[in-house]
A and B are shown apart, each in its own frame.
Chain A
Amino acid sequence: MFGLANPQRFMAFTRPLVPLLWAAAGVLLALGAWFSFTAPEDYQQGDTVRIMFVHVPAATLGLGAYAALGVSSFFALVFRHALADAAARAAALPGAAFTLLALITGSLWGKPMWGTWWVWDARLTSVFILFLFYLGYMALRAAIDDEARAARSAAVLGLVGLINLPIVRFSVDWWNTLHQRASLIRADGPSIDGAFLPALLTMMAAYGALFLALWITGIRTEVDRRRVVAARARAAAGA
């Protein structure tokens, strides 16, 4: 596992993995879409239940990607590890996109079910703050020219943002929210009707595979980019 911290080993190990992940994501997305539109409509929510199949995976991956960013930031900051920094950077854009999708699809689900596009309840607000952490992380990296300094500053922000993850996760338990409580990952098992589980679980797997494909492709791209930038800098210094 720790052997993969070596960029060359990481590149060699992930080379055959990346096309498999992209293919898995594509197949699972197609399968998930099929299950989503063959599932019955909900007796209370009608066809809006089909929004759940894109909303819940997006929200889960928005959180998961930030966990990846935060843990990578920790290794980048403490061990000054270049690959960990590349991993944190590569998780930011997909994570921000998944979080934005969770906010938009949640709003599109909320309007017909709650009668409003948005409320400042604990779950929605904490997810919005998560999105702001992503934006802040990317803006900070872009704002500082010195890459090493940008990486350190962004890693600190990435670590601070980890505090928000349990707040997002448990907001529906700690506070009275319009957003429903967790219905999939619960101590007493999922409370969702079994008719919706194949679609939801397949879409979760599809989004998970897609995130891994995006993340590992992003890390590989960052490794290549840094090699090229370093070589150009050496050439410029030697000229």
Chain B
Amino acid sequence: MPDFDMGRYAAFVWPAWGISLIVLGALAARALIAARRWRREAEKLDQERPR
């Protein structure tokens, strides 16, 4: 079973994991939001283009 008791090192271990999760989560969110935005713009462009 996982051991979440970091004892006297909790003040170092948890910030390291916390900051990592926050930064990686923000990177993923930013990438996915930007991808959706520009994909929609490109799709709109394709629909507007005369065939």
**A: which residues have CB within 8 A of B?**
22, 34, 37-38, 41, 46-48, 50-51, 54-55, 58, 93-94, 97, 100-101, 104-105, 108-109, 111-112, 210, 213-214, 217-218, 220-221, 224-225, 227-228, 231
CB-CB under 8 A from B23, the residues of chain A are 97, 100-101
Cβ-defined contact, A214 with B31, below 8 A: yes
Q: What count of chain B residues pass the 8 Å CB interface test?
A: 30
- Find A228's partner among B4, B12, B20, B42 (CB 8 Å cutoff): B42
Cβ-defined contact, A221 with B34, below 8 A: yes
Cβ-defined contact, A228 with B16, below 8 A: no
Contact with A along B1-12 (1 / 0, CB 8 A): 111101111101
Cβ-defined contact, B9 with A46, below 8 A: yes
- Find A217's partner among B9, B24, B35 (CB 8 Å cutoff): B35
Cβ-defined contact, A54 with B38, below 8 A: no
Q: Give the residue among B1, B6, B16, B41 with the most A Cβ atoms within 10 A.
A: B16
CB-CB under 8 A from B24, the residues of chain A are 97, 101, 210
Cβ-defined contact, A112 with B9, below 8 A: yes
CB-CB under 8 A from B28, the residues of chain A are 22, 210, 213-214
Closest B residue, CB atoms, query A225:
B38
Closest A residue, CB atoms, query B34:
A221
CB-CB under 8 A from A48, the residues of chain B are 9, 12-13
CA distance A213 to B31 in the complex (A): 9
CA distance A111 to B9 in the complex (A): 10
26 contacts between A and B (CB under 8 A): A37-B2, A38-B2, A38-B3, A46-B7, A46-B8, A47-B7, A47-B13, A50-B6, A51-B12, A54-B17, A55-B16, A93-B30, A97-B23, A97-B24, A105-B19, A109-B16, A213-B28, A214-B31, A217-B31, A218-B34, A220-B35, A221-B34, A224-B35, A224-B38, A228-B42, A228-B45
